[in-house]
Amino acid sequence: MKKYLIAGNWKMHGTKQSVCDLVASLAKLNLASNVDVAVFPTYLHIDYVAQSLSKSTIKVGAQNCAYQEKQGALTGEISAEQLKDIGCKMVLIGHSERRQYLAEANQVLAKKFIAACSVDLVPILCVGETLEQRSSGNYQNIITNQISSIIDIVGIELFSKAIIAYEPIWAIGTGMVATSIQAQEVHLVIRNFLANINTDLANNMQILYGGSLNSTNIKDLLGMPDIDGGLIGGASLSAQDFSLMCNLAGEIN
Ligand code: PEP
């Protein structure tokens, strides 16, 4: 049976009170055996969330990490080692908002990927195309290039520790969700691309879909053969919506 990962990216959202309320609800979740859940609060809230969820199976991750794994002279950054120490299990690498607005390129993302793996944080590598790139018809190559440029630097062995999140940029925060057919097409392209390198890697790789997922479309998308979970932004900020989505994933078999 497929094991789904439902991941909530809280982005730059949350106050002490709203995070406290959200976590109190999530701690009560009764998850189906085929569902894993992870949440990605801001750095400020990771410690509180990790402690509050310590009795739950919900994992806590970070939305980013420094490109050096260890502590050091890098003002304003947080290292993978520090994230591990505070209770993180995973880290998002290369979310499109960081690629777009903070100019994070594949070279630096590969360093972050290596930093994460060096302390056993699972990197969730985010890839996806803009609407223009989709319209150009070249989106499949753009996505596989995003993946291969990381593999070329980190190597296939390290890459096998990752999770991939396919997030079409035009679907993020727009309400324009990819259809299950559009998403499945890209997920299969990614899996076939990996299979050309190593079949086990391809078969074992969890590939999440992200982009305007909500409780009305999640079953449709996660019901597709190559979609292994969801990376959820907006809807993960509502305890009610996110809990419902986790429960709906548990109903897919
Ligand atoms: C995201 O930012 O990773 C995301 C998928 O956002 P949303 O669900 O709001 O589209």
For 134-170, the pLDDT digits (tens) are 999 999 999 999 999 999 999 999 999 999 999 999 9
- The angle subtended at Cα 207 by Cα 13 and Cα 117, nearest 5°, is 75
Catalytic residue among 45, 69, 81, 95: 95
For every residue of 64-85, DSSP letters joined together read ---SSSS--S-TT---HHHHHH
Average pLDDT, the chain: 97
242 Cβ neighbours under 8 A, 6+ residues apart: 6, 8, 26, 232, 235, 236
Q: Does ligand 1 come within 6 angstroms of the Cβ of 211? A: yes
Residue nearest to atom 1 of ligand 1 (CA): 233
Tell me which residue has its CA closest to atom 6 in ligand 1: 233
8 lines ligand 1 (CB under 6 A): no
Looking at residue 1, its pLDDT comes to: 80
| Ligand 1 atom having least distance to the Cα of 92 | 3
Kindly give the distance from the C-alpha atom of residue 62 to the centroid of ligand 1, in angstroms, as a whole number: 15
Determine what percent of the chain is predicted with pLDDT higher than 90.
99
Q: Does residue 86 surpass a pLDDT of 80? A: yes
- For residue range 189-246, what is the model confidence (pLDDT) as tens digits? 999 999 999 999 999 999 999 999 999 999 999 999 999 999 999 999 999 999 999 9
